[in-house]
Structure 1
Amino acid sequence: MASITIRNLDDELKARLRVVAASHGRSMEEEVRVILAEALAKQNKPSGMGTRIHELFAAAGGVDLELPPRNTKARAADFDE
């Protein structure tokens, strides 16, 4: 396993980390590993645009739309015009 050193860590931030770690029953080192893993897990969720749009509007509820019948046959696109 790899190790990292964090230099110039603000004293107040370190004190807050110590309190949070203790409240979770963890060492500061373990708390940092958990925080990093959770932060990176949120970022590494690859999703398509449709999925992202669904997530944005899911709370608003859904609607069922009635699709009109197609009266004409589908045709190929013409890009020469």
Structure 2
Amino acid sequence: MATITVRDLDDEVRSRLRVRAAENGRSMEAEVRAILEAAVRPSRTERRRAGLERARALAAEVGGFDDVFANIPPRADYPRESPFDR
């Protein structure tokens, strides 16, 4: 595990961090870790883009999206009767 030292942290920032940590039931150190982890977590757009790239790569392995979709049965029997309609 790495250690980071933050120098010249404004007193107001430290005070707000202390309050935020207390509100979340964490130590200041745990709160800083949570903030940093959230800051570098991939965004929703990045996760979607990665998923799309994986789908494209998988489709390319089997000959493209047309081949993938050709194996999906038609939805002719939809809408199905709900078990709650009985």
Using structure 1 for the length normalisation, give the TM-score.
0.53
Query: How many residues are treated as equivalent by the alignment?
Result: 49
Distance in 2 of aligned mates of 1:4 and 1:36 = 11
Larger helix proportion of the pair: 2
Using structure 2 for the length normalisation, give the TM-score.
0.50
Q: How does 1:45-56 map to 2 (within 5 A)?
A: 45=46, 47=49
Structure 1 unpaired stretches of 5+: 51-81
Identity %: 53
Cα RMSD of the aligned pairs, angstroms, is 2.2
Segments ≥4 residues shifted beyond 3 Å: none
Is 1:23 the equivalent of 2:34?
no
Note the alpha carbon deviations across 1:7-66, whole angstroms, 9 max, x for none: 000000000000000000100000000000011004593527x8xxxxxxxxxxxxxxxx
Structure 2 unpaired stretches of 5+: 53-86
Give the corresponding residue for 1:32.
Answer: 32
Distance in 1 of aligned mates of 2:16 and 2:43 = 24
